[in-house]
Amino acid sequence: MLLLHYNFRRFLDALDELNPAQIKHAQTKIRDLRQKTEAISEIEARTNQEHKCPFCGDERRQKWGRTRTKVQRYRCTGYQKTYSGRTRSAIGRIHRPDLFMVALRDMLGTSTPQPVRKLARQLGLNKYTIWRWRMLVFSIIENSNVAASFSGIIEADETYQRESRKGSREWVRHFADPRSVPQPPRPRWEDFTTKGLKMMRGLSRWQLPILTVADRGGSHLFRRLPNRKSATMERAMKPLVPGDAVLCSDGGNGYKDLAAAHSLEHFVVGSKPGTRVLAGCYHIQNVNSLHARYGKFIEPFCGPATKNLNGYIRWLEVRLAGIRPADVIRDS
Ligand SMILES: [Zn+2]
């Protein structure tokens, strides 16, 4: 320990001798090290909170060295098995927890998340690794509870996301075996040009509705609906709107039916600019601004595959709720 202390003093003294280029180099190195230690301390915080063996739940334990990634390892007094903060967690098998933390911070930070390729290049990793990590984070946040409850004036509206079968093999399978694999229901985008198919204007049936609800207290949610039927809308809205709430929406039948069925006070406002405000406080501007945020968030992903759309919606909610990387690690 004394020697370490002595070395450290010498190290600090040596810093004075560095030239500007070396200082820059040292800065990068220290930043990398800090990322690493921060990752480790957040993973360790997970065991320190839990204090339990992930195998048998016993709280008695001994410190038992450190793992290859320098995380504190413990040994359970009961069964004598060793574990660390990552054991049996969703992030347990990640080889570079430090870089995972960087990617997680990028996902949850205040600035726009970086494209997978760019982040992969920056971290010196394969793009598929970053992609897998993103999907892993989706699976962790899928179950975390950002329960929204609504009261008072409640705004509701839908936005739409074009259905995407990105990555789907349906046409490939069809062409490989046309007899047993029927033609998929939707033309490929290239068919619209090569076969001269007409693009539908406005809302085609390939536009998926996303319901957005917000109240004036700041609660909000996005929810993908399976279809555009008014019954679906009513079913989705019903548990969100208490009986004494005031509903503001456009003139969609789902909202009208909901208001009628539960005798809610209902203000119908136009969705076109200029008609959005009805008598002062009755408007749907909060959901409209949420739609704008959704649009801005989703745009760089160039139409995410529909099978992942719920994950992206959840990701946006988690970002808006200000959930921190440490919370995600704890829930993993
Ligand atoms: Zn145990």
Both 219 and 314 in one domain: the answer is yes
In a domain, 25, yes or no: yes
**Domain end position, chosen among 89, 112, 128:** 89
Q: Is the pLDDT of residue 56 over 80?
A: yes
Q: Could you give the CA distance from residue 328 to residue 245 in angstroms, rounded to a whole number?
A: 33
Return the pLDDT at 18.
Answer: 92
Beta strands 82-84 and 153-162, pairing class: unpaired
**How many CB atoms within 10 Å of residue 103?**
26
Residues 211-236 have pLDDT tens digits of 999 999 889 999 988 888 888 888 88
- 81 Cα: distance to centroid of ligand 1 (angstroms): 6
Give the chain's radius of gyration (CA, Å): 26
Cα–ligand 1 centroid distance for 140 (angstroms): 24
Q: Which pLDDT band, with edges at 50, 70 and 90, does 136 fall under?
A: very high
Which helix (H) or strand (E) element contains residue 65?
strand 61-66
- Is the Cα dihedral 177, 179, 184, 187 positive or negative? positive
Q: How far apart are CA 234 and CA 262, in angstroms?
A: 10
Question: 90: which 2 tokens?
Answer: 């969703």
**Residue 267 sits in a domain of what CATH number?**
3.30.420.10
Q: Are residues 225 and 325 in the same domain?
A: yes
Instruction: Record the pTM.
Output: 0.78
d(CA 137, CA 227): 27
In the chain, pLDDT over 70 holds for what percent of residues? 90
Domain co-membership, 178 together with 303: yes
Going from the Cα of 136 to the center of ligand 1, the distance in angstroms, rounded, reads 26
Structural domain total, the chain: 2
Same-domain pairing of 75 and 160:
no
Of 48, 69, 89, the position where a domain reaches its end is 89
CA of 302 to the centre of ligand 1 (A): 47
**pLDDT at residue 46 tops 80:** no
83 with 160, same domain? no
Q: Do 164 and 313 sit in the same domain of this protein?
A: yes
Residues, beta carbon < 5 Å, ion ligand 1: 53, 55-56, 58, 76, 78-79
194, 318: one domain? yes
